[in-house]
Amino acid sequence: MRAGGFVFFKTNHMSGLLRWLIAAVVLSAAAFFMGEYHNDVYRKLLLWVTLALGYNFLFGICGQVAFSHFAFYGIGAYSIVIFLFQLHLPFPIAVLCGIALCILFALAVAIPSTRLEGFYLALATLALGQLFIVVLNEGGSVTGGTGGIANYRLPELFGMRVRGPWYTGVIVLLLVFTYSILKRLDDSWFGRACRAVRDNPEAAAAMGVDVARTKVIAFTLTSALAGVAGMVYAFVDNTVNPPIFGIENAFLLLFMVIVGGAGRHAGAVIGAVLLFLLPFWLSPLVGHHHALVFGVLVVAAILFQPGGLIGLWDRFSRSRS
Amino acid sequence: MGPILQVEKLTKRFGGLTAVAELDFEVREGEILGMIGPNGAGKTTTFNVIAGTYPATGGEVRFAGEPILGLPPHRIASRGVMRTFQHNRPFAGLPVIDNVLVGAHTRFAASLWSVVLGSARSDEGQRRKRAEELVQFVGLGELRDADVATLSFGQGRLLEIARALAGEPRLILFDEPAAGLTPAECARLAEIIRGIAARGIAVLLIEHDMHFLLPLAQRVVVLNFGAKIADGLPDEVRAHPAVMDAYLGSHATPQ
Ligand SMILES: Nc1ncnc2c1ncn2[C@@H]1O[C@H](COP(=O)(O)OP(=O)(O)OP(=O)(O)O)[C@@H](O)[C@H]1O
Ligand SMILES: [Mg+2]
């Protein structure tokens, strides 16, 4: 639909499934050529890209300003750990319960706030994000308090325990799964309805779009996807603790999408990769002040390049052709 | 033919201001009903109440025999009432063809689940073809993939029409489609509106400009201060003393 959509390979004739498979294999295989440290960085990068893709659908495509994405990531992560190791639920049940929990919370936030102006969703999700951290810190033995929960392991599935670079493969699957769902939605009547709601809600309603319902579905779906990503994250370091799921990271996610180019999958990927890797290069130069550089980047993007880096790329490739 | 839209004693008040007062009229199937009136007469408000954007203060609106007052706008659209806006309201982030496809929103059969699972055959391709035909029909064929920001004002008017048609309406509400168009564009627009009526779609056409409206409409309703002051055939309305009065001093004068 849109030129420059994020495609792994230009293979129109190749069947969709095969294309996804190849992408997954290539991205996973890379993990086997890395040392432990780089593998760790690579995994976090893949998770950030996954989160940015989901958040881009909510913020960039549907136009909803929400700060709860990391709270849902955390709800997913904590719930899988608690359900598995404290309630001793079977693995598939624990996963389903975790997703159900995310959906429940998402509906509880979205249904009242999407009926109001967009500002209230921002407020409600900000509150949820803060509340979640408080609950984690005060959760006693259930959440492990400020120290979180550690010393658990991914249970054996079908007699195997996935670990090392193989677990990177699981994260790649998560990324491909997330992207394929978002891409299908975006290319359908639903994605168009989301963009219409973002651009002009009154006209969208006149065209037959149920504005409130569209917003609630987009919010719930992307929140549930964040929850699933959180479940995968829980077994990356085999530890979950509160700071990861705070508001700072929710803002970083917003920055990634804005700098990369809101509303475009490729933009979300570029923004996530850039802002995730930037601190690694910057910290030798500016120490912990890289947040300042991010701030400048975001302000520059908003003022001078609202299409983000992907928009810049479009202009560049158009002027060359 | 029978009425597709029946408006009875429709009233809309904004605080102390009565924008629409006990308005009665009906649109028959396949006809072009014109609605004229000076600035602030309540024409757009009438549309907004019929389309569900504003709640009515009183009265009744029936579409295809069923009451529709109180339904939300998207439900009214899905029943087959589509509209254009007096001021262009495109979806700025979507190319022309996708703007039109949003108009077809209520006509997609694939459920959200089948979209996510990629399972059921999608009607996306078929809808897209329909939308392309409509873009051609209003004369924007060349601009199918254009950014809406690059459209001229007149092209934006045509996009509004194509988008509304994509919803496969039985009744279409046009709010001053000719406003701001050049005489050549007006002539083309008149042809397009005749073409729409010829497809069996009932048209309710608000227009300021009597020169444009009178040759096009089969019947005309005249509003002033929210109330109907005259209705009838174009020639009758033109000669009506109350209409002459209402338009005296106003910029559009009957010929
Ligand atoms: N949302 C609103 N709130 C308050 N008053 C309104 C609102 N919308 C319209 N009005 C008032 O209702 C009256 C009728 O306005 P309306 O827009 O329906 O007129 P119109 O016949 O479409 O005029 P025009 O030819 O200028 O488009 C005007 O006095 C207007 O100021
Ligand atoms: Mg008006």
Please answer whether residues B91 and B98 qualify as being in contact, where contact means their C-beta atoms are separated by less than 8 angstroms: yes
Class of domain B1-80+169-255: alpha beta
Would you state the pLDDT for residue A13? 45
> B80, B170 in Cβ contact below 8 A?
yes
pLDDT digits (tens, 9 = 90+) for B88-102: 999 999 999 999 999
Over chain B, what HEC string results?
CCEEEEEEEEEEEECCEEEEEEEEEEEECCCEEEEECCCCCCHHHHHHHHCCCCCCCEEEEEECCEECCCCCHHHHHHHCEEECCCCCCCCCCCEHHHHHHHHCHHHCCCCHHHHHHCCCCCCHHHHHHHHHHHHHHCCCHHHCCCEHHHCCHHHHHHHHHHHHHCCCCCEEEEECCCCCCCHHHHHHHHHHHHHHHHCCCEEEEECCCHHHHCCCCCEEEEEECCEEEEEECHHHHHHCHHHHHHHCCCCCCCC
In the beta sheet, which residues pair with residue B27?
A: B5
Subunit contact B98:A209, Cβ cutoff 8 A: no
- The answer to whether the CB atoms of A205 and B73 lie below 8 A apart is yes
Which ligand 1 atom is the nearest neighbour of the CA of B37?
21
Q: What is the pLDDT of residues B18-56, one digit of tens each?
A: 999 999 999 999 899 999 988 899 999 999 999 999 999
| Inter-chain Cβ pairs, chain A and chain B, closer than 8 A | 96
pLDDT of chain A along its 321 residues, tens only? Answer: 344 434 433 444 457 778 888 888 888 888 888 888 898 999 999 999 999 999 999 999 999 999 999 999 999 999 999 999 999 999 999 999 999 999 999 999 899 887 777 788 899 999 999 999 999 999 888 888 888 898 898 887 777 777 778 899 999 999 999 999 999 999 999 999 999 999 999 999 999 999 999 999 999 999 999 999 999 999 999 999 999 998 889 999 999 999 999 999 999 999 999 999 988 888 777 777 777 888 888 888 888 888 899 988 888 888 887
Q: Which residues of B touch A15 (CB under 8 A)?
A: none
Q: What is the mean pLDDT of residues B2-17?
A: 94
Please state the ipTM of this predicted complex: 0.92
Contact status, residue B64 vs residue A176, Cβ threshold 8 Å: no
Rounded CA separation A193/A214 (Å) = 7
Cα–Cα distance between A256 and A278 in angstroms, integer?
A: 11
Helix or strand run (H / E) with residue A231:
helix A211-233
Q: What is the pLDDT of residue A315?
A: 86
pLDDT of residue A188: 93
The residue extents of the domains of chain B are: 1-80+169-255, 90-166
B16 CA: distance to closest CA in chain A (Å): 25
For range B148-153, the mean pLDDT:
93
Q: Burial of A37 by CB count in 10 Å (0-12 exposed, 13-18 middle, 19+ buried)? A: exposed
pLDDT for B1 equals 66
Q: Which of residues 41-70 of B touch A (CB under 8 A)?
A: 51, 53
Q: pTM of the prediction?
A: 0.91
Tokens for A319, please give them.
Answer: 């002027």
Name the residue at shortest CA distance from atom 25 of ligand 1: B39
Spell out a b/e string for B66-99, using b for 16 or more CB atoms within 10 Å of the CB, else e: eebbebebbbbbbbbbbbbbbebbbbebbbbbbb
Residue A195 with chain B: CB contacts under 8 Å: 91, 93-94, 98, 102
> How many residues appear in chain A?
321
pLDDT at B250 over 80: no
**What is the per-residue pLDDT for A14?**
58
Set of chain B residues whose Cβ sits within 8 Å of the Cβ of A263: 93
Query: How many angstroms does the Cα of residue B14 sit away from the middle of ligand 1?
Result: 9
- Flag whether residue B78 sits within 8 Å of chain A, measured between CB atoms: yes
B25: β partners: B7
Report which bound ligand comes closest to the CA of B208.
Answer: 1
Beta bridge partners of residue B8, listed in sequence order: B60
pLDDT band at B69 (very low <50, low <70, confident <90, very high): very high
* Atom from ligand 1 closest to the CA of residue B42: 18
Place of tokens 């394929």: A180
Q: Does the beta-carbon distance from B116 to A185 stay under 8 Å?
A: yes
Non-local CB neighbours of B43 within 8 Å, separated by 6+ positions? B35, B36, B37, B175, B206, B223
Q: What is the model's pLDDT at position B209?
A: 82
Shortest CA gap B108–chain A (Å) = 7
Ligand 1: residues whose CB is within 6 Å?
A: B 14, 17, 19, 37, 39-45, 86, 208
Here the tokens at position A9 are 């390979």
CB within 8 Å: B92 and A16: no
Q: How many CA atoms lie within 13 A of A200 on its CB side?
A: 18
* Amino acid A282: pLDDT: 81
* Out of B74, B92, B94, closest to residue A208 by CB: B74
Please provide the average confidence, as pLDDT, over all residues in chain B.
Answer: 91
Of B78, B91, B115, the CB nearest to A208: B78
DSSP state of A58: I
**What residue segments make up the domains of chain A, in order of their start?**
34-259
Average pLDDT, integer, range B224-231: 91
Q: What are the φ/ψ torsions at residue B17 (nearest 5 degrees)?
A: -90, 125
* pLDDT tens per residue, range B197-213: 999 999 999 998 888 99
Helix A69-85 with A91-114: angle, nearest 10 deg: 150
In Å, how far is B248's CA from the nearest CA of chain A? 34
